[in-house]
């Protein structure tokens, strides 16, 4: 289970430090930023509303990453593939949403019932589109390579990522595009102890939480969900149970794609800017989230997504947006050093 | 083995290993006399392989102290322990499948070789000599364990099961170990092959002065070859002694052997 | 009509031919053993029957139906289930969930009853029903693998090396149970290294050598055969 | 034995003839022809791809952050051979023009060695915490390091090593960079590409030689052993981290050398070059060519270079024009690139020239990374 | 911009004096990178050098790319006209240039590069002056870190500080970030009343302006010519919403369409006719003028050779153009210094006034 090679015997003092680090290092790493800046806020401003604001923004952004990360983690869990095209499926979700708003004529001025219905319809359309797209990608680019060298599908994944980005580029042009702000995303809904909660925050968390709960229930309770888990743990034994492994893998891609579609819609509504390369960044972040949480583990993916969301906002606010990605990745490295299997890492075949 | 035995090649004291909350090995004292053939038996999950893995450095003991040949090796790195003279085989054969039998054995000599990065790139005369020497020695070891010479340069994956076991032992021998650990060497062998292996173990000890520690389920092999037996159950030592004593020990029969288990 | 008929089955891994024309039959209600040394093709025979390694040539009839090129899930639904070599339990699922997976294709209402039956055969599994399979000992996992295969309510049960790597005391117990399962009416095709036990519970046996059937007879007679004794029983 | 020797002689003869053709190739083209340019780039990418091949192909470590070494190599060139550090005035064995402008200007050959040293060092720093991990976790952590280096490159203008000495010039890039200036021959120019081509060829031959020598050495065996079964390998006395570090450090050094060459050749060190997609570009060369297969990787590098720099921009994009359509294919270029990647991989999953061992591993299911120790004994 | 170039050529009937002109468009990006790359840029420059018939090189759009192509083109003495570069250091060593600039770009020591847009020093001063006039006190600055954005922001900051404005921060942004809410809330926490961005639209400018508008009530927002295009100003083309646009002012080195000389007026009419686009991006007119200048220089040269064209180019005096009347100085810079201040109104850029900014305050 641990790394196979162990350090040679070391002087005692060093060992004590090492033991301490291996026990508490992870906690120290995770809490370092919020605690440091919390103390700074308390001493500078006397309350924690600035940090609170960062955390709320972080949770909203993070919940989008979480939905995308689940798709990564599901796919990795079942066929051990880093599905580089997944972020771009998410992008297509955003584009579908933006296109569909226009088609059915949703505007910010409509009444709440009409808007809610319209958005719900959009959600379904997005989820179906990206779900189907993801299933198609699996059929075309990954299934023919089953049994091929493990790295071959990695390259087809990258290839598909390029293809989808090009589709996005032709669809809506090369630069970021502002779209209608249907829900007045940044309007404050209410304020708790100095922390503003906006419409966008409510939407992001309000959509993500039920989706994640549904997903976890589906996978742990339902027959098909169990088939997915069984296939992930031992595909050959799963076949002996009468599970159709190909269908189960397709189902996994369907679910992952649907969540990416939902995330795409939330992203479009929350950020109100979309562009063809958004999926690349999102994919990288979501994959990092999946690994951080322990790849193959849904709850881990959600936790990883939320943590990254919070790190990003704190870093944006205190350090500077240009450094934010570096800080996120530095966190990833530290977490891997202290807990190589990720925060909630289960034993996967690969990680050991 | 008790403290009274003066010449222990390996002495493990109060060794335990805890995974999560699960105690795999709990406070075991264990010694191997130099030049002996000793067996470790016990039901599955008793902690035998975990114990092996601690001796070879794959696992770091949670508590305890292991001394090999008067050097402390507790928690040392596997490659360093190997270099000190402990070599092993695995329960499921772990040969490098795409290498020939000879190359596999040459890997076993890795620790005895000196060619580094630059030496390998420049391929100096010294490096060439070393390669030749190591290759010849590999052939010697393969011949010693009884592999037919025409199979030396066949890929390991294409060898018969019994031959793969032999190559694995030759690979372990290539490092000139003092102590050889064999983890279920007869698993998957038919009785005839098992007998040959038993003979090989005796030869290794008699001709090369090797000390052997064996994990084995086949009672016939265990009883036939061991001078001393230790029985583990649930991570604890429940019995030890001469084969006859162990075989008739009530706890061992209850936990492991069963009533009519030993067919002879 | 025999329950299972293999006729000249040839199976390959990549370019390597593992079975060079295996023919054998299993009658309903029988327990049949395949013995042979490692690499003789015993496991491959079972994998060919269950569809994991479909044969390139030859036919496999199950109750008169050709199953040689069916996908595994269809073969399972016809009533063949396998406990694979190395047990292959789902390590991060509980014992109860593992058993449920065995009944994956079933939609009848008797799953709970069959689970009780498995618990009756292996009381150890009931004690550990909430435990993750990966944390159990090898012997317990073997029980689980057999129990899981039984949950499919098979007409034919394929068992691959049920005694491999298991303490003598458990081997005895597992073989008692296998005999019991057979008595209760399930047909069994057994692959074993440990020929002593296997010939003890089976009625007939085949000896495989390098991908072919070398010998077949009633188990009791094979036990007396001097060649078999020398090669597989350790005289 | 004699047959084998004869075979070997034939191979050497073929190699020498091929080498001669490759060496005189530029003489048949205009000295600043686009074709020579593409060839020079292809040679530089061969150096990188063969470097990565040592890491991924030989040692089996999936490195998604190889761009980090390209970056460090290129910056070494930027630091030591350009007018970037204009506060300093150091000139070591450099030509007339470089001597006339302020900054640190060190001769190309010296910088090449420094670049190899820096990247090896970086390889060790990145490798130490990373290589203890297994399989895809190595991939993600190297990816993370690659991105961190990219960010440092972008934001290095905010980081002052000393007053007036920022780490990088950020997105603005370090331009221009000194041209190669070798002893005894005319200084290189941007317009005559032949000397650049020959330098790149020399680098490529060097890395080719090292690849071949390492593959058939004690280290090569150790890498295969670690790749196929890490637990068995370390139990046979192979120090895992050290042996992997040797692969990682060597591969890194070649990335750095190629990076330094490219910085001089392209005349710039621009932070935006060092993006994740470049790591993927080089990795695609290795995988497409055939993991571990030396000639395969060479072919993969040449193929992808020409697809990216010639086929798509110059050939395919003109097709609609030629058939009389008013349609701009350049908008489709990276879709086409992706499409070609998918097609080539699906048609030849084991690579253009598969490596013998790798193919066998595939067929027999050996070394799929399943080398974990079981938590609970069977 | 390419459309502007093509239009100019079309109007001249592919002729300059006695020479027939062929225009070849070279793309400086590659499939794998999707953005301008040094490989493709230097390849293009060499292609131009190699072509004996090439007389003028129009480009690059990016100052960073020019830094790559200029030294190569300089070696073959190819006249180069950039329609868009504003980075100071390409031509002079005035404040804003790095040490060693501009000499390091000219290995032959001879100037070959000209541009028709005023350098950043002037635009920076224009923006700072505008902010001062509008009553800004605390300014939050951002830039996209590219050659253009970073250079402009440096000049804005120098000029603004000289005029007594308080610069809260000057942040380089990550153009790939999903949003800038936390950065905006930091500015709000610091009490910013004005916001300025130096960079191009394609580096996520729309999101940036939206987030600052949402975070700070009544914030006044400014930008340079990098965002003066419909893709930024027009919500129908994915630009900022009208409510945000109402608070945005931009500086561009073009005058009011009404102030243009007759040729300029004509240009707008023709452009609309040819491309069915009534409101071309400000850069379209630069592209148009770049080509016209090139044609003019070729016509004035006697034999169309590179040497003569170069001479003619640097001898440009009091040229009457769509941009106004200007000359090219010995550095290759335009003598135009007037900046137009535009506001965003209903998705369109609307000319406010001409700013005569004093460089350095």
Domain-wise residue ranges, chain E: 2-118+261-272+282-326, 121-252+339-355
Q: What is the mean pLDDT of residues E65-72?
A: 89
- Whether C39 maps to a domain, the answer reads yes
Residue A140 has pLDDT above 60, yes or no: yes
pLDDT tens sequence across B15-40: 999 877 778 898 999 999 999 999 99
Question: What is the chain E residue with the closest CA to D275?
Answer: E33
- Residue B224 contacts C where some CB pair is shorter than 8 Å: no
Q: Check whether A4 has a pLDDT greater than 70.
A: no
CB-based contact C25:C4 (threshold 8 Å): yes
The predicted pLDDT at position A314 comes to 94
Best to test chain A binding among B77, B90, B111 (most A CBs inside 10 Å): B77
Would you say residue E259 has pLDDT above 70?
no
C7 beta partners: C59
| Strand pairing class (C4-13; B8-19) | unpaired
Domain total for chain B? 2
Residues in C touching A242 (Cβ below 8 Å)? 72-73, 76-77, 104-105, 152
pLDDT tens sequence across A218-277:
999 999 999 999 999 999 999 999 999 999 999 999 999 999 999 999 999 999 999 999
**In sequence order, which ranges of chain B are alpha helices (DSSP H)?**
48-55, 78-84, 101-108, 117-122, 125-144, 161-173, 191-208, 219-225, 243-247, 250-252
Contact B/E (≥3 CB pairs under 8 Å): no
Task: Please indicate whether residue A44 or residue D68 has the higher confidence score (pLDDT).
Answer: D68
Predicted complex ipTM: 0.88
- pLDDT band of A37, cuts 50, 70, 90: very high
Determine whether the interchain pair E42/D309 forms a contact, defined as Cβ–Cβ distance below 8 Å.
no
CA atoms of B16 and A142, how far apart (whole Å):
46
pLDDT number for residue D4: 61
Asked if the structure places residue B93 within a domain, the reply is no
Q: Which residue has the higher pLDDT, B6 or D252?
A: D252
What's the pLDDT tens digit per position in A51-87?
999 999 999 999 999 999 999 999 998 988 889 999 9
How many whole angstroms separate alpha carbon C18 and alpha carbon C24? 16
Q: Do B75 and A6 touch (CB under 8 A)?
A: yes
Is residue B90 in a domain?
A: no
What is the chain B residue with the closest CA to A8? Answer: B76
Q: Which CATH class is domain E121-252+339-355?
A: alpha beta
Hey, is the C-beta of D193 within 8 angstroms of any chain B C-beta? no
Q: How confident is the model over E36-42, as a mean pLDDT?
A: 83
D196 Cα to chain E: minimum distance (Å): 14
To the nearest whole angstrom, how far is the Cα of D21 from the nearest Cα of chain A? Answer: 32
| B39 and B161 together in one domain | no
A and C make contact (3+ CB pairs below 8 Å): yes
Greatest C-alpha distance within chain E:
64
CA distances (Å), origin D174, targets A279, E64, E71: 30, 9, 13
Interhelix angle A278-293/A152-172, rounded to 10 degrees, is 140
How far is Cα A256 from Cα A276, in angstroms, rounded to an integer?
A: 20
Q: Tell whether the model's pLDDT for residue D1 goes beyond 60.
A: no
More confident residue, E79 or C195: E79
Q: Which two tokens stand for residue E194?
A: 């004005």
CB contact under 8 A, E75 and D173: no
| Neighbouring subunits of A (3+ Cβ pairs under 8 A) | B, C, D, E
Which residue of C lies nearest to B163 if distances are taken between CA atoms?
C38
Q: Do residues A252 and A83 touch, judged by C-beta distance below 8 A?
A: no
Burial D256-273 (b: 16+ CB within 10 A, else e): bbbbbbbbbbbbbbbbbb
Place of tokens 């640097």: E314
User: Which of D363, D364, D376 is facing C135, going by the closest CB pair?
Assistant: D376
Q: Looking at residue A3, what is its pLDDT?
A: 35
Pick from B80, B81, B83 the residue to mutate for testing the A interface (most A CBs within 10 Å).
Answer: B80
Q: What does CATH list as the number for E2-118+261-272+282-326?
A: 3.40.50.2300
Chain D residue with CA closest to B116: the answer is D219
> CB distance from A206 to chain E under 8 Å?
no
pLDDT tens digits for B189-248? 777 788 889 999 999 999 999 999 999 888 888 988 999 999 998 889 999 999 999 988
Helices D108-130/D67-80 angle, 10° precision? 140
- pLDDT tens profile B88-119: 999 888 999 889 999 999 999 998 888 889 98
Distance CA B211, CA B180 (A): 6
User: What's A152's domain CATH number?
Assistant: 1.10.3470
CB within 8 Å: D376 and C13: no
Q: Is residue A115 part of a domain?
A: yes
* CB-CB contact of A282 with A65 (8 Å): yes
> Is pLDDT at E256 greater than 70 in this prediction?
no
A-facing residues of D in 125-164 (CB < 8 A) are 129-130, 132-137, 139-141, 143-145, 147-148, 151-152, 154-155
Q: Which of E35, E11, E34 is nearest to E23 (CA)?
A: E11
Which chains would you list as touching C if contact means 3+ CB atom pairs under 8 Å?
A: A, B, D
The C-alpha atoms of residue A351 and residue A345 are separated, in whole angstroms, by 9
- Residue at a domain's end among B174, B192, B208: B174
Mapping DSSP to helix (H, G, I), strand (E, B) and coil, where does residue E344 land? strand
Contacts of residue E183 in chain A, CB cutoff 8 Å?
316-317, 320-321
Q: Quote helix, strand, coil % in chain C, to nearest 5.
A: 40, 25, 35
Q: What confidence category does residue E38 fall into, taking pLDDT thresholds of 50, 70 and 90?
A: confident
Residues of E in contact with D270 (CB under 8 A): 38, 64
How many domains does chain A fold into? 1
Smallest CA–CA distance, residue B75 to chain A, in Å, is 7
pLDDT in tens, E324-336: 788 999 999 988 8
Check CB contact under 8 Å for E30 and D308.
yes
The chain D residue lying nearest A165, using CA atoms, is: D335
**B71-72 and B63-68 beta bridge pairing:** antiparallel
Instruction: State pLDDT tens for residues E106-149.
Output: 988 899 999 988 888 888 999 999 999 999 999 999 999 887 88
Whether C146 maps to a domain, the answer reads no
Summarize the confidence of residues D86-101 as an average pLDDT. Answer: 83
**Once rounded to an integer, what is the mean pLDDT over residues B149-171?**
90
Residue C223, in any domain of the structure: yes
Q: Which residue of D has its CA nearest to E31?
A: D334
Range with the lowest mean pLDDT among D287-301, E217-231, E255-269? E255-269
pLDDT digits (tens, 9 = 90+) for E148-162: 888 889 999 999 999
According to the 3-state scheme, what is the secondary structure of chain D?
A: CHHHHHHHHHHHHHHHHHHHHHHHHHHHCCCCCHHHHHHHHHHHHHHHHHHHHHHHHHCCCCCCCCHHHHHHHHHHHHHHEECCCCCCEEEECCCHHHHHCCEEEECHHHHHHHHHHHHHHHHHHHHHHHCCCCHHHHHHHHHHHHHHHHHHHHHHHHCEEECCEECCCHHHCECCECCCCCCCCCCCCCCCCHHHHHHHHHHHHHHHHHHHHHHCCHHHHHHHHHHHCHHHHHHCCCCHHHHHHHHHHHHHHHHHHHHHHHHHHHCCECHHHCCHHHHHHHHHHHHHHCCCCHHHHHHHHHHHHHHHHHHHHHHHHHHHHHCCCCCCHHHHHHHHHHHHHHHHHHHCCCCCCCCHHHHHHHHHCCCCCCCCCCCCCC
pLDDT at D376 > cutoff 50 = no
Contact indicator for A187, D329 with CB cutoff of 8 Å: no
Interface check D183 vs C, CB under 8 A: no
Which of B20, B45, B251 to mutate: most C Cβ within 10 Å? B45
Mean pLDDT (whole number) for A97-122? 88
Task: State pLDDT tens for residues A180-191.
Answer: 888 888 888 888
The CA dihedral of D107, D113, D118, D122, to the nearest 10 degrees, is 150
Residue E238 sits at the chain A interface (C-beta within 8 Å): yes
pLDDT tens string D94-137: 877 788 888 899 999 999 999 999 999 999 999 998 888 877 78
Chain C residues whose beta carbon lies within 8 Å of the beta carbon of residue D364: 13-14
Whether the predicted pLDDT of E40 surpasses 90? no
Task: Tell how strand B236-241 and strand E113-115 pair up.
Answer: unpaired
The parent domain of residue A113 ranges over 10-338
Answer whether B touches D (≥3 Cβ pairs < 8 Å): yes
D235–B44 CB contact, under 8 Å: no
Q: How many residues does this entry show for chain B? A: 264
Coil/strand/helix, residue E265? helix
Look at residue A352 and tell me if it is in a domain.
Answer: no
Does C206 fall in a domain? yes
Q: Are residues B181 and B256 located together in one domain of the fold? A: yes
| Residue C58 pLDDT exceeds 50 | yes
pLDDT band at C135 (very low <50, low <70, confident <90, very high): confident
In chain D, residues with a C-beta closer than 8 Å to the C-beta of C140 are none
For position C83, which CATH number holds?
Answer: 3.40.50.300
Longest dimension (CA), chain D: 73
At E193, list the tokens. Answer: 């009343």
Domain boundaries, chain D: 35-275
What tokens appear for D269 in the block?
């060190």
| Comparison of pLDDT for B149 and B258, the residue scoring more | B149
Calculate helix-pair angle for A245-271, A112-137, nearest 10 degrees. 140
- Quote the domain boundaries for residue C215: 4-87+157-232
Flag whether residue D333 sits within 8 Å of chain E, measured between CB atoms: yes
d(CA C146, CA C95): 12
Residues 40-69 of chain D whose Cβ lies under 8 A from any Cβ of chain A: 56, 62
Indicate whether B5 pLDDT > 80. Answer: no
Task: Give C137's contacts in chain D (Cβ within 8 Å).
Answer: 376-377
Residue C117 inside a domain? The answer is: no
D367 contacts on B by Cβ (under 8 Å): 97-98
Q: Chain A partners of C90 at a C-beta cutoff of 8 Å? A: 229-230, 233-234, 237-238
CB C209 within 8 A of CB C231: no
Whether residue A3 is contained in a domain is answered as no
Cα angle D6, D7, D10 (rounded to 5 degrees) comes to 85
Residue D316 touches chain A, beta carbons under 8 Å: no
- Domain of B187, in residue numbers: 1-85+177-264
Q: Which residues of C touch B (CB under 8 A)?
A: 37-39, 135-139, 164-173, 193, 196, 230-235
Would you say residue D140 has pLDDT above 90? no
D353 and chain A: CB distance < 8 Å anywhere?
no
Residue B49's pLDDT is 86
Q: Give the residue on B whose Cα is nearest the Cα of C139.
A: B44
What distance in Å separates residue B101's CA from the closest CA in chain C? 18
Gap from B195 CA to chain C (nearest CA, Å): 9
D307 touches chain E (CB under 8 A): yes
| Cα C6 from Cα C21, distance rounded (Å) | 9
| For range E182-186, the mean pLDDT | 92
Query: Is the Cβ of D373 closer than 8 Å to some Cβ of chain C?
Result: no
| C-alpha span between C143 and C166 (Å, rounded) | 11
End-to-end Cα distance, chain E: 32
Sign of the alpha-carbon dihedral angle for A249, A254, A259, A261: positive
Asked if D375's CB is within 8 angstroms of C15's CB, the reply is: no
Q: pLDDT value at position C235?
A: 53
């Amino acid at each position: 289970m641990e790394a196979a090679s162990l350090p040679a015997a070391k002087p005692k003092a060093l060992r004590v430090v090492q033991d301490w680090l291996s026990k508490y290092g992870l906690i120290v790493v995770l809490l370092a930023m919020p605690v440091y800046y919390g103390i700074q806020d308390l001493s500078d401003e006397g309350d924690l509303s600035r940090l609170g604001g960062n955390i709320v923004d972080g949770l909203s952004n993070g919940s989008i990453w979480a939905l995308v990360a689940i798709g990564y983690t599901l796919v990795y869990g079942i066929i051990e593939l880093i599905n580089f095209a997944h972020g771009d499926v998410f992008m297509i979700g955003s584009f579908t949403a933006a296109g569909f708003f226009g088609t059915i004529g949703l505007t910010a001025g409509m009444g709440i019932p009409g808007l809610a219905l319209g958005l719900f319809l959009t959600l379904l359309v997005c989820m179906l589109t990206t779900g189907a797209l993801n299933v198609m990608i699996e059929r075309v680019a990954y299934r023919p390579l089953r049994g091929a060298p493990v790295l071959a599908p990695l390259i087809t994944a990258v290839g598909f990522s390029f293809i989808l980005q090009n589709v996005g580029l032709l669809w809506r042009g090369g630069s970021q595009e502002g779209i209608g702000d249907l829900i007045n995303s940044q309007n404050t809904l209410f304020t708790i102890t100095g922390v503003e909660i906006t419409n966008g925050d409510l939407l992001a968390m309000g959509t993500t939480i039920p989706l994640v709960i549904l997903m976890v229930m589906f996978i742990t309770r339902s027959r098909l969900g169990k088939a997915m888990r069984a296939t992930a743990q031992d595909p050959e034994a799963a076949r002996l149970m009468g599970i159709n492994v190909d269908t189960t893998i397709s189902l996994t891609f369907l679910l992952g794609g649907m969540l990416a579609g939902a995330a795409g819609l939330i992203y479009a509504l929350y950020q109100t800017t979309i562009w063809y390369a958004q999926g690349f960044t999102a994919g990288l972040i979501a994959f990092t989230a999946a690994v951080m949480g322990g790849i193959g583990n849904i709850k881990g993916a959600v936790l990883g997504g939320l943590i990254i969301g919070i790190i990003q906002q704190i870093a944006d606010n205190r350090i500077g947006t240009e450094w934010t990605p570096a800080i996120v990745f530095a966190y990833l490295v530290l977490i891997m050093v202290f807990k190589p299997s990720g925060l909630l890492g289960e034993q996967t075949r690969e990680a050991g | 083995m008790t403290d009274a035995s003066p010449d222990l090649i390996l002495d493990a004291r109060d060794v335990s290993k805890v995974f999560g909350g699960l105690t795999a090995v709990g406070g075991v004292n264990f010694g191997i006399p130099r030049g002996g053939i000793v067996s470790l038996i016990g039901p599955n999950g008793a902690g035998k392989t975990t114990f092996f893995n601690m001796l070879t450095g794959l696992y770091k003991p949670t508590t305890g102290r292991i001394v090999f040949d008067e050097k402390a090796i507790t928690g040392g790195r596997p490659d360093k322990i190997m270099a000190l003279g402990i070599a092993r085989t695995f329960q499921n054969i772990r040969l490098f499948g795409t290498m020939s039998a000879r190359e596999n054995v040459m890997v076993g000599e890795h620790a005895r070789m000196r060619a580094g990065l630059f030496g390998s790139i420049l391929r100096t005369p010294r490096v060439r000599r070393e390669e030749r020497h190591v290759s010849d020695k590999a052939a010697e070891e393969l011949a010693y364990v009884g592999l037919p010479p025409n199979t030396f340069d066949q890929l390991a994956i294409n060898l018969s099961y019994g031959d793969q076991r032999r190559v694995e032992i030759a690979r372990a021998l290539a490092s000139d170990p003092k102590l050889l650990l064999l983890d279920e060497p007869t698993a998957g062998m038919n009785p005839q092959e098992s007998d040959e292996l038993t003979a090989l173990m005796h030869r290794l000890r008699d001709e090369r002065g090797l000390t052997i520690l064996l994990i084995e389920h086949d009672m016939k092999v265990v009883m036939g070859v061991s001078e001393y037996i230790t029985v583990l159950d649930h991570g604890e030592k429940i019995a030890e002694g001469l084969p006859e004593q162990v075989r008739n020990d009530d706890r061992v029969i209850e936990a492991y052997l069963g009533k009519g288990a030993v067919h002879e | 009509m025999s329950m299972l008929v293999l006729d000249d089955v040839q199976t390959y891994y990549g370019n390597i031919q593992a079975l060079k024309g295996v023919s054998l039959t299993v009658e309903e209600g029988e327990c049949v053993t395949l013995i042979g040394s490692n690499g003789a093709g015993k496991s491959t025979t079972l994998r060919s029957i269950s569809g994991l390694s479909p044969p390139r040539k030859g036919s496999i009839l199950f109750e008169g139906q050709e199953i040689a090129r069916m996908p595994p899930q269809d073969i399972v639904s016809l009533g063949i289930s396998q406990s694979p070599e190395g047990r292959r339990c789902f390590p991060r699922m509980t014992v109860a969930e593992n058993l449920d997976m065995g009944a994956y294709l079933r939609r009848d209402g008797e799953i709970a009853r069959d689970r009780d039956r498995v618990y009756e055969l292996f009381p150890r599994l009931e004690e550990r029903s909430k435990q993750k399979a990966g944390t159990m000992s090898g012997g317990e996992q073997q029980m689980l693998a057999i129990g899981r295969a039984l949950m499919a309510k098979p007409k034919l049960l394929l068992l691959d090396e049920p005694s491999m790597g298991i303490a003598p005391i458990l081997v005895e117990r597992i073989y008692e149970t296998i005999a019991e399962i057979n008595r209760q009416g399930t047909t069994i095709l057994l692959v074993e290294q440990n020929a002593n036990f296997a010939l003890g519970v089976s009625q007939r046996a085949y000896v495989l050598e390098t991908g072919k059937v070398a010998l077949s007879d009633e188990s009791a007679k094979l036990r007396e055969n001097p060649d078999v004794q020398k090669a597989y029983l350790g005289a | 034995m004699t047959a084998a020797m004869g075979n070997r002689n034939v191979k050497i003869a073929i190699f020498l003839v091929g080498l001669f053709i490759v060496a005189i190739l530029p003489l048949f083209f205009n000295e600043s022809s686009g074709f020579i340019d593409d060839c020079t780039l292809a040679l530089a990418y061969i150096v990188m791809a063969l470097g990565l091949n040592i890491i991924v192909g030989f040692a089996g470590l999936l490195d998604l952050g190889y761009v980090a070494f390209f970056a460090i190599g290129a910056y070494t060139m930027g630091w030591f051979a350009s007018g970037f550090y204009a506060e300093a005035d150091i000139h070591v064995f450099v030509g007339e023009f470089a001597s006339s402008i302020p900054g640190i200007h060190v001769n190309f050959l010296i910088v090449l060695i420094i670049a190899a040293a820096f990247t090896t060092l970086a390889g060790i720093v990145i490798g130490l915490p990373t290589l203890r991990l297994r399989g895809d976790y190595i991939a993600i952590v190297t990816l993370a390091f690659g991105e961190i280096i990219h960010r440092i490159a972008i934001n290095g203008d905010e980081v002052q090593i000393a007053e007036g000495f920022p780490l990088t010039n950020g997105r603005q890039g370090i331009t221009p960079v000194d041209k190669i200036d070798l002893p005894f021959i005319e200084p290189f120019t941007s317009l005559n590409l032949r000397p650049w081509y020959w330098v790149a060829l020399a680098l490529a031959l060097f890395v080719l030689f090292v690849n071949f020598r390492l593959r058939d050495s004690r280290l090569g065996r150790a890498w295969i052993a670690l790749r196929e079964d890490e637990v068995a390998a370390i139990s046979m006395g192979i120090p895992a981290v050290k042996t992997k570090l040797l692969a990682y450090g060597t591969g890194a050094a070649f990335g750095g050398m190629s990076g330094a060459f490219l910085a001089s050749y392209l005349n710039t060190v621009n932070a935006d070059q060092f993006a994740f997609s470049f790591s993927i570009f080089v990795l695609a060369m290795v995988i497409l060519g055939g993991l571990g297969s030396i000639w395969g990787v060479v072919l993969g590098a040449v193929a992808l270079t020409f697809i990216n720099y010639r086929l798509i921009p110059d050939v395919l994009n003109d097709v609609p024009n030629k058939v009389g359509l008013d349609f701009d294919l350049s908008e489709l270029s990276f879709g086409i690139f992706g499409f070609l990647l998918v097609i080539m991989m699906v048609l030849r999953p084991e690579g253009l020239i598969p490596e013998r061992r790798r193919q066998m591993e595939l067929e027999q299911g050996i070394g799929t990374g399943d080398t974990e120790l079981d938590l609970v004994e069977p | 911009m390419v459309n502007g170039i093509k239009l100019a050529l079309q109007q001249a009937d592919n002729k300059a004096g006695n020479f027939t002109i062929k225009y070849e468009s070279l793309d400086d990006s590659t499939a794998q990178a999707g953005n301008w790359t040094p490989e493709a840029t230097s390849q293009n420059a060499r292609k131009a050098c190699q072509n004996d018939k090439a007389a003028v090189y129009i480009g690059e759009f990016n100052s960073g790319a020019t830094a790559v192509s200029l030294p190569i083109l300089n070696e073959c003495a190819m006249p180069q006209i950039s329609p868009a570069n504003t980075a100071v250091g390409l031509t002079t060593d005035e404040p804003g240039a790095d040490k060693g600039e501009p000499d390091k770009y000219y290995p032959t020591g001879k100037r070959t590069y000209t541009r028709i847009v005023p350098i950043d020093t002037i635009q920076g001063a224009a923006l700072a002056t505008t902010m001062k006039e509008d009553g800004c006190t605390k300014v939050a600055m951002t830039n996209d870190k590219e050659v253009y954005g970073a250079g402009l922001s440096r000049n804005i900051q120098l000029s603004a500080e000289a005029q007594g404005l308080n610069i809260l921060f000057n942040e380089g942004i990550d153009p790939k970030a999903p949003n800038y809410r936390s950065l905006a809330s930091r500015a709000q926490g610091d009490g910013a009343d004005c916001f300025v961005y130096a960079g191009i639209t394609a580096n996520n400018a729309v999101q940036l302006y939206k987030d600052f508008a949402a975070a700070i009530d009544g914030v006044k927002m400014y930008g340079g010519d990098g965002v003066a295009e419909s893709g930024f100003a027009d919500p129908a083309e994915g630009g900022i919403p009208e409510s945000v646009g109402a608070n945005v002012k931009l500086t561009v080195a073009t005058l009011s369409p009404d102030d243009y000389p007759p040729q300029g007026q004509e240009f707008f009419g023709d452009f609309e006719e040819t491309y069915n686009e009534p409101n071309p991006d400000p850069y379209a007119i630069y592209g148009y003028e770049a080509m016209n200048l090139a044609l003019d220089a070729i016509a004035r040269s006697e034999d169309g050779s590179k040497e003569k064209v170069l001479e003619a180019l640097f001898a440009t005096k009091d040229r009457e153009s769509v941009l106004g009347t200007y000359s090219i100085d010995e550095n290759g810079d335009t003598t135009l210094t007037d900046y137009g201040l535009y506001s965003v109104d209903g998705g369109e850029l609307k000319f406010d006034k001409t700013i005569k900014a004093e460089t350095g305050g």
